[in-house]
Amino acid sequence: MTSYELGAIVAERQLEGVTEDGARTTVTIAVGTPRPDPLSANGDWCCPHRIVGLGGEAVEASFGVDSLQALLLSVYGLRVKLAARAEEAGVMLDWLGMADLGLAVVPETTGAV
């Protein structure tokens, strides 16, 4: 497995993990600055991210053809990993009562972009 450095953090969020018996713990997600993937021969980008508080705290990365795609896929990857790790740990995650933890962006369109 390739090791990544988080580097400068561009976004961070603290979630609350709640166990069945009501115990609470803090889970922190962090996204690093997207950067060119040093292993890519095609100019692809990577965006590092980390979850702290649900085990497996290594920095991982998502990849895209440019910095924006890498960033968006990193946020999506965090959603998927959080769901899997929370289920494995028997923890319900909460952020402002939002089921998607505020990590899904589907803007309403009213004609203006």
Q: What is the pLDDT of residues 77-101, one digit of tens each?
A: 999 999 999 999 999 999 998 888 9
DSSP letter at 33 equals P
| Sequence letter at residue 109 | T
pTM: 0.86
Rounded to an integer, what distance in angstroms lies between the CA atom of residue 79 and that of residue 95? 12
Q: Report pLDDT for 4.
A: 87
Query: Maximum Cα–Cα distance for the chain, whole Å?
Result: 50
Contact partners, residue 62, CB within 8 Å, separation at least 6? 46, 47, 49, 70, 73, 74, 76, 77
